[in-house]
Amino acid sequence: MAKISFGGMRETVVMRKEFPLAKAKKVMKNEVIAVIGYGVQGPAQALNMRDNGFNVIIGQRKEEKAYWNKAIKDGWKPGKSLFSIEEAVKRATVIQYLISDAGQMLAWPTVKANLKPGDALYFSHGFSIVFKKDTNVIPPKDIDVIMVAPKGSGTSVRRNFLDGSGINSSFAVFQDATGRARERCLALGIAIGSGYLFETTFQKEVLSDLTGERGVLMGALAGVMEAQYDVLRENGHSPSEAFNETVEELTQSLIRLVGENGMDWMYANCSTTAQRGALDWKGPFKKAVLPVFRKLYKSVKSGNEARITIKANSRRDYATQLGKELKEIHDSEMWQAGIKVRELRPENMNKKAAPAKKKAARKSAKKAKS
């Protein structure tokens, strides 16, 4: 396990070469892994582990037909590798609790009642454990409680696995009842296809994750995009021009350069005019949003964001309300412009052109025969 230093802090990072798949299989050779929930993270982690040769079963409520049928479509067999949540927990030695935070609260009495001494309870988010006063998810003392948190959506976890790159994940041990919690945790991190694993705690994962989602990764990104788009439109720029300058150039070009080698690399590969403007305006933007981020982090750390989430997600009409909020974004001019702009991407134009070309070729061949 590598020890690396950043900003005066030493961190533990585990690479695949240090904990290879063969070692993970050895650690988990007598384990049955139950993935509870076949919604977002569940399918990706379950399929990756199955492809890697681990003994995996699924626990899913049959009443949630979309998820149950998706599991069947992906090759899980009812009564053999696909069970109710209760039955899956009974059969497993590792329980990967991958349903939503609100769902974890509701299913916890069923899961807890069927845990056995020596089991490992695995999370991909520390929410339920850290905010236990609100969630009432309090594991018994005779089980391991561990976490592997991929830094991406389930779609990215699966896609990166299939292309061989893997996705970065954090890992943590909250409770070690067996003396094997850490090696189980690392083995599962490798099993799901992590590119590398970096150590954290349940609390730090939650605080950074909730801040990141509400901040740069989603909330701030959406808000900043909308603000720039609105200013461009207010000043007479067309929807297409405003969207391209706000979203398309970022997502299709610049962010890829940042991902390759960092922000300085992206700056170095832009025009001198862009460089100067970015460097001059970075400071004012940071000054403007730093108070917002401090307020956000305070709200996350106090548990306020968790309580808001639990209250909202527990409402019976949550799905309906969410649909309305997402539809409002979808129907906004900016994202309607985005639909049109994406249609004009060369790869999408080529897809549209392909059937027409085939039809023309068939017509030409038929004409030649006649």
So which residues are the catalytic ones? 125
Tokens of 222: 């959406």
Q: Which residues pair with 196 in a beta bridge?
A: 15
Secondary element (H or E) of residue 358: helix 346-369
Radius of gyration of the chain (CA): 24
In the structure, how many helices (H) and strands (E) does the chain have? 20, 10
The backbone region for 169, taken as left when phi is positive above 0, alpha when psi lies in -120 to 50, beta otherwise, is: beta
Strand 9-15 and strand 144-150: the pairing is unpaired
Which of 178, 170, 238 lies closest to 200 in space, CA to CA?
170
CB atoms within 10 A of CB 78: 14
Distance CA 40, CA 154 (A): 5
